[in-house]
Chains A and B, each alone.
Chain A
Amino acid sequence: MKSIFTFLFCFILSVAYSQEKVSFGKNLKNRFVNYTEFGVLFGRGYQITPINYSYYSYPVKASANISFQTFNGVKVYKNLAAGITVGVDWYSTQQLIPISLGIRNSFGDSSNKKVKTFAGIDAGYGFTWLSTGDTEYQKTRGGLALNPMVGLLIPTGGQANFTLSIGYKYNAFQTETYSGAGDYSYYNRIDYSLNKMSVKLGVNF
């Protein structure tokens, strides 16, 4: 998985390099784009009556989780930047590290000091490296991570912008529990599909 990312990253860089007839290293500083954001993931979940306990059901439960991420990329075409997003999402059952390929596009003249809008999407894989509970009897596996977003770029006065964005965030992962010995042993697998609304604040330069 990691090697795929490395390959794609190199591919994007080479595309970026070939598109403009200027020295890559010299202009890297001008072309570098960073979005570092911190925010909250809002969501809710409830349980449909389980089959084994027909009298049992959960009420709707709202949740808010914290998320941090940083996008680092280069401009590949006009205001379109491509790069890699690394983040951490603190869910109540699991901490995920999504590593994604991402693009960001800001609209409007970049030299204009007015509030501008941007849109972006990250797509990758949520790793469960921060999970410490992996044993013979308990395993976690990551899964698809998706995060399209739209937002505002609010100039700070200098080269940077504050960002305010909302988006949709999807994370999938899996936990497996196994009670080993004994007559009544069981395997238990839970497939999590988390659908959240992300609201983030951050900086961009």
Chain B
Amino acid sequence: MKGSLIKLFLLIGFTFVLASCKDNCQQTTTYRGTESVLITLNELRSSIKVLPAQDLESPGKIYVKDNFLFINELKKGIHIIDNSNPSAPRALAFVKILGNIDMAVKGNILYADSYTDFVALDISNPNAVKEISRVKDVFNYGTIDGITWNFNTNDQTIYDAKWKWYTTTQEVACENQMVYYAQYDKFALANASSSSSSFSASGVSANSVGKSGSTARFAIVDDNLYAVTQDEMKLFNLSTPEKPTKDASIKLGFGIETIFPYKDKLFLGTTTGMQIWENSNPKAPTYLSRLDHVRACDPVVVENDIAYVTLRSVSNFSRCGAAIANQLDVIDVSNPAVPTLKKTYQMDSPYGLGIDKNQLFICEGTNGLKTFNATDPMNITQVQQFKEMDTFDVIPLNGVLMLIGKDGLYQYDYSNPNNLKLLSKMLVKKTN
């Protein structure tokens, strides 16, 4: 009996000790957020420098002129590549230009944006690129890669931000699993909106002008350079190529993404539709027509009076709004005053696109590259798909397809439309 009592007490004692057991749950969150970057005008205007060739890190738009290929390094500068042999491209130099996103080349002059400024660089010797002139304070803000920068006139400072991975560890409740969202940088969140997306501009203009990818916001027609911001088209006069001057600014409305000159028209890609501007007088383009579609990121290319527009839905509010479609629209623009939607094809997640002699190339983001036969625009058929690349823009030119993506630059020979041949690749430096 005594033994049983001891056992009972022991049991009760155990119970009390065990009842104090507490759960412990650690949450480790790794999230992508933003970090503020402040740049003074002084820093900006003394930033241009020629550096030795560097690895690609986060490539942006591409531009091709003669044997040279220009690859933008987001907000950092431009890689100059000797592409006379597409099978073995050779990096020549890196031009550091703070805040650079877009570029265009006419003759030996490279025009580039640099946050607020528009700069002209002499590239006749790619190893000794020189700044020759600068139009100050043309741009007030811009969005690329989901981040908007702003120029604050009061303190003459550019407020930008960059992506950064953060890791935090904290104790959380084990029972109620808290839904945890990344903590956004308030500044960038408030400003993140529509961004650069895609369009295809085959810069058909003066002979000495290069060709841009479909995400271009710069286009050159004769002596005029058109730079579209989110709500404006800014005209620059290049009649003295070394000393560009700013002409008019034309209000366009919200959400302008890209510009594509075709014949004497300008095709603008916006987040809500395609706009066509009459450009028979290149000094003063006038609004002609528009074709609205669902809100989406949308690059455009035009060939043989047919405009190809891709719409990409994004799950993220910060880019192009809550878009729902992933498709290719084929639009008849033979009468530019009345563009008519002819047909719609389903796509996965189309970004930039390019067309050359009825061969249509569409970047599908993480789904790689797709090639199509567009001989009959009403019956576009897929020919090939290259996966395992993260692509966003292409330039098809003279049988060489230059493809840029998050992983780097890929070049294909497309002289045989049914069988693209990989010529070379220039991959980004892996940082992890």
Contact = CB atoms under 8 A, between A and B. Distances in A.
Interface in B1-26: 4, 7, 10-11, 14-15, 18-19, 21-26
Interface string A39-80: 000111111101110000010010100000000000000000
B318 interface: yes
A184 B23 contact: no
Contact of B26 (A43, A44, A190): A190
B175 interface: yes
Contact of B315 (A45, A51, A182): A182
B33 interface: yes
Contact of B11 (A48, A166, A184): A166
B182 A186 contact: yes
Contact of A44 (B21, B184, B192): B21
Given A45-B23, A47-B172, A188 B180 contact: yes
B32 interface: yes
Interface string A167-205: 110000001000001111111111111111101000000
Contacts of A182: 314-316, 318
A29 to B, nearest CB: 31
Given A61-B175, A197-B15, A184 B28 contact: no
B170 A52 contact: yes
B183 A52 contact: yes
Contact of A195 (B21, B27, B145, B175): B21
Contacts of A95: none
A139 to B, nearest CB: 14
Contacts of B175: 45, 61, 63, 92-93
A137 B25 CA distance: 20
Interface of A: 42-48, 50-52, 58, 61, 63, 92-93, 115, 117, 150, 152, 166-168, 175, 181-197, 199
Interface of B: 4, 7, 10-11, 14-15, 18-19, 21-33, 145-146, 163, 168, 170-177, 180-184, 192, 314-316, 318-319, 366
14 contacts: A42-B19, A45-B175, A46-B173, A51-B168, A52-B183, A168-B18, A181-B315, A181-B316, A184-B318, A186-B180, A188-B30, A189-B30, A193-B24, A196-B21
Given A196-B23, A197-B15, 19 more contacts: A43-B21, A44-B21, A44-B23, A45-B22, A45-B23, A46-B22, A63-B175, A150-B11, A168-B18, A175-B177, A181-B315, A181-B366, A184-B33, A186-B32, A186-B181, A188-B29, A189-B29, A190-B28, A195-B23
Give the 10 A-B CB pairs with smallest separation, nearest first: A186-B31, A197-B18, A45-B23, A182-B316, A183-B146, A195-B21, A187-B30, A50-B170, A45-B174, A47-B173
